[in-house]
Amino acid sequence: MKQGKRSVTITDIARELSISPSTVSRALNNHPAIKEETKRKVITLANKLNYQPNLLALNLLNKKTNNIGVVVPEITSHFFAAIISGIQDILNASGYNIIMCQSNESYREEIKIIENLSSVRVDGFLIAPSSKTRKLDHFVKLKNSGVPIVIFDRDCQGLDVDKVLLDDYDGAFQAVDYLVKSGCKKVAHLGGSLSLSTSIHRRQGYIDALKSNNLSVRDDHIFHTKGFKHSDGIRAAKSLLKLKDPPDAIFAVNDRIAIAAMYVAKMYGFKIPEDISIIGFDDEPHSSYFTPSLSTVRQPAYSIGLLSARILLQNLSNPHDSPGFRREIFRPELIIRDSSRLRPDT
């Protein structure tokens, strides 16, 4: 078998048919001014030869690739995977393809990815910045180069582009307020990395909910983990529950940490929710199948993906004329299941 096979081009077809490449091109594109018979001949041969148009050449010519760059911190998280599904459903339907990249929460990798996607000339970007991203130069450059960008999930203060976010503050507030109203007096927080806007907002929502209920904020009842995995949660939950004066409720930054907290709580002999209520954040598919089923704050991940993609699509067809930028904030929904006590008044 020959290797490095040259792929077939319109010129090949043209030669074989003794016509010009432009005629082939037109036939393939169903140009009206081409004889039916010629079209048929061309198309038949093209199929036979398994001709695949070379989009590189076309894109170079058109200065348009129909590719969209999607950058997420990690894909192994149901949250981002669901967002991506939403994005894909919209973009594919409009004839766009997705080039998906993970930054692995690394600033360096993120920069490399952005540069690369720039070089392959994607038509637009959908980005959830890494948690390490402080400097915004790479995004600013992008923006200045005129490519449409939509930032989602994680805010980038000071970057003026379209954004689709979630009201993390509100979600946290709802959860903690509920916990207090249901009778918990000592609500602790297992938070995430404070380099993340989402973690910061959830923490603030927690704090403000306590204050608005005239409860004091106790430093020893707040832990922030580095990562978002179960193992991170286990460690933090142990420290928390080993306290002489342990909490009677935990609001966790995400479901994984909450699950870990449930695990530790049970291990230590706490009854859930009688001794301790636990609420997470995300509503992962598994969450409702735990015992007890996990109360949580649901993020409309799929919808976030849909909307982000739709906004990008708009910018694509109608390059930014308006001066302002959209800033869409989804409101999360508190889902009460069995890991938290019921409110007496409901």
Partner DNA sequence: TTGTAGGCGTTATCAG
Partner DNA sequence: CTGATAACGCCTACAA
- Binding site residues, a copy of itself, CB under 8 A: 1-7, 50, 52-57, 59-60, 63, 65, 67, 74-78, 81-82, 84-85, 88, 97-102, 115-116, 118-121, 141, 144-146, 229-230, 256, 259-260, 262-263, 266, 284-286, 289-291, 319-321
Region near DNA per CB under 7 A, out of 13-21, 94-102, 154-162, 191-199: 13-21
**19 contacts which partner out of DNA, a copy of itself, none, CB within 5 to 8 A by kind?**
DNA
Of residues 67 and 277, the one with the C-beta less far from DNA: 67
User: Which of 308, 300, 306, 294 has the alpha carbon at shortest distance from 331?
Assistant: 300
Of residues 215 and 263, the one with the C-beta less far from a copy of itself: 263
Three-state DSSP class for 44? helix
Structure tokens at 269: 């002999």
- Residue 297, φ and ψ in degrees, nearest 5: -105, 115
Of residues 117 and 188, the one with the C-beta less far from a copy of itself: 117
Q: Could you say which of 23, 67, 225, 295 contacts DNA (CB under 7 A)?
A: 23
**333 contacts which partner out of a copy of itself, DNA, none, CB within 5 to 8 A by kind?**
none
Answer whether 252's CB lies under 8 Å from 284's CB: no
Alpha-carbon distance 262 to 242, whole Å? Answer: 14
Alpha-carbon distance 148 to 315, whole Å? Answer: 6
Number of residues that bind DNA (CB under 7 A): 31
Q: Write the binding mask 42 to 61 for DNA: x where contact by CB under 7 A, - elsewhere.
A: ---------x-xx-xxx-xx
Instruction: Give the count of beta carbons closer than 10 Å to the beta carbon of residue 146.
Output: 8
Q: Could you say which of 16, 28, 118, 275 contacts DNA (CB under 7 A)?
A: 28
Q: Does the footprint of DNA cover residue 15 (CB under 7 A)?
A: no
Region near DNA per CB under 7 A, out of 32-40, 250-258, 265-273, 300-308: 32-40
Cross-sheet strand order for the sheet of 162-166: 97-102, 67-72, 124-127, 149-152, 162-166, 327-330
CB of 327 to a copy of itself, least distance (A): 19
Task: State how beta strands 97-102 and 124-127 pair.
Answer: unpaired
Alpha-carbon distance 114 to 3, whole Å? Answer: 33
Structure tokens at 334: 């508190």
Residues with Cβ within 8 Å of residue 137, at least 6 apart in sequence:
none
Enumerate binding residues for DNA (CB under 7 A): 6-7, 9-11, 18-23, 25-26, 28-29, 31-36, 38, 51, 53-54, 56-58, 60-61, 63
